């Protein structure tokens, strides 16, 4: 049954973002799907979302651009009426040891992952303040907390998201807006496809639950943080990593 609530998910054409959209649709939320690259699959995703009896909007744009984020928010409101939940999911990696990392590779990752989260949130928050309701869920990472050799740029951006989450949670709590982060461990998507079988095996030995996560593991956490069951939780980092970090 439709929940009459609208969720906007960034970077939702594939991977974790796509799974979040499908799970939220199944749960009855209307879904605005942000995608950057146009593919045939994006229309298929829209049809699949609508097959759950909810509405779907497709909003194209790059979260690295403040103006494009402004447009995506406007287009979502025009199509679906409002935004109750924002999931800042889009993210990139450009891995390499610091000794060899270019300034471009460092700033690009911070510009998309961290500044992109600001760009979307800055455009959504006035609407949420006005309606005195909102949920913001930022996708961080286990490496934003623990660090990881070869990922200084990515870890810095994901750690920045945690500081951003906590500060904003304090700013907007009085307006009934909850802001939380999810820190996934290693999840099976295109982002981790580059890992060799050997690397995957060695990662599994570091995970008490002995497997990498699935996009659905993360989508379930998003569902919880969007629901009334989490109405007394804000400024937190929910670790969904099979016990990797404890
Ligand atoms: P993915 O499969 O690589 O998908 C990333 C998505 O983000 C793609 O749809 C991509 O769109 C989109 N995107 C990238 N840059 C964008 C931009 N500038 N504007 C709009 N969309 C953009 O990654 P994933 O594994 O699903 O990761 C999703 C989130 O979880 C990321 O924030 C990632 O850092 C985080 N995370 C992932 C893991 C993991 O192990 N997979 C672990 C911890 C955290 P295009 O198709 O146009 O490239």
> Rg (Cα) of the chain, in Å, rounded?
17
The mean pLDDT of 99-107, rounded to a whole number, is 98
- Ligand 1 centre to CA of 177 (Å) is 25
- Is 154 among the catalytic positions? yes
User: What global pTM score does this model have?
Assistant: 0.98
- Ligand 1 centre to CA of 174 (Å) is 31
Name the nearest CA neighbour of 75 among 54, 90, 60.
60
Asked whether the predicted pLDDT for residue 3 surpasses 90, the reply is no
Ligand 1, from 9, 10, 15: best to mutate by most atoms within 8 Å of Cβ?
Answer: 15
Name the nearest CA neighbour of 27 among 243, 241, 224, 208.
224
What atom of ligand 1 comes closest to residue 213's alpha carbon? 40
Q: Per-residue pLDDT tens for 205-243?
A: 999 999 999 999 999 999 999 999 999 999 999 999 999
CB neighbour burial string for 15-40, b if at least 16 within 10 angstroms, e if fewer: bbbbbbbbbbbbbebbbbbbbbeeee
Q: Per-residue pLDDT tens for 66-91?
A: 999 999 999 999 999 999 999 999 99
Asked whether the predicted pLDDT for residue 1 surpasses 80, the reply is no
Verify whether ligand 1 is closer than 6 Å to residue 187 (CB atom). yes
CA separation for the pair 54, 94 (Å, rounded) = 36
Say if residues 177 and 136 touch (Cβ distance below 8 Å): yes
Q: What is the reported pLDDT for 41? A: 93
């Amino acid at each position: 049954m439709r929940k009459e609530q609208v969720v906007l998910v960034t970077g939702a054409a594939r991977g974790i973002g796509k799974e979040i959209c499908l799970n939220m649709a199944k749960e009855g939320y209307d879904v605005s799907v942000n995608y950057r690259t146009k593919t045939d699959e994006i229309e298929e995703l829209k049809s699949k979302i609508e097959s759950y009896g909810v509405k779907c909007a497709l909003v194209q744009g790059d979260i690295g651009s403040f103006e494009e984020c402004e447009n995506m928010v406007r287009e979502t409101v025009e199509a679906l009426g409002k935004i109750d939940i924002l999931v800042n999911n889009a993210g990139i990696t450009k891995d390499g040891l610091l000794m060899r990392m270019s300034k471009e590779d460092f700033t690009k990752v911070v510009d998309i992952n961290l500044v992109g989260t600001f760009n979307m949130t800055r455009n959504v928050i006035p609407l949420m303040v006005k309606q005195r309701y909102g949920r913001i869920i930022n996708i961080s990472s286990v490496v934003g907390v623990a660090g990881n050799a070869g990922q200084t740029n990515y870890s810095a951006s994901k750690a920045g998201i945690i500081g951003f989450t906590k500060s904003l949670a304090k700013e907007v709590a009085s307006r009934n807006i909850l802001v939380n982060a999810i820190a996934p461990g290693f999840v099976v998507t295109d982002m981790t496809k580059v890992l060799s079988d050997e690397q995957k095996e060695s990662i599994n030995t570091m995970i008490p639950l002995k497997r990498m996560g699935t996009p659905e593991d993360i989508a379930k956490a998003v569902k919880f943080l969007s629901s009334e069951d989490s109405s007394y939780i804000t400024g937190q980092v929910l670790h969904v990593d099979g016990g990797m970090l404890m």
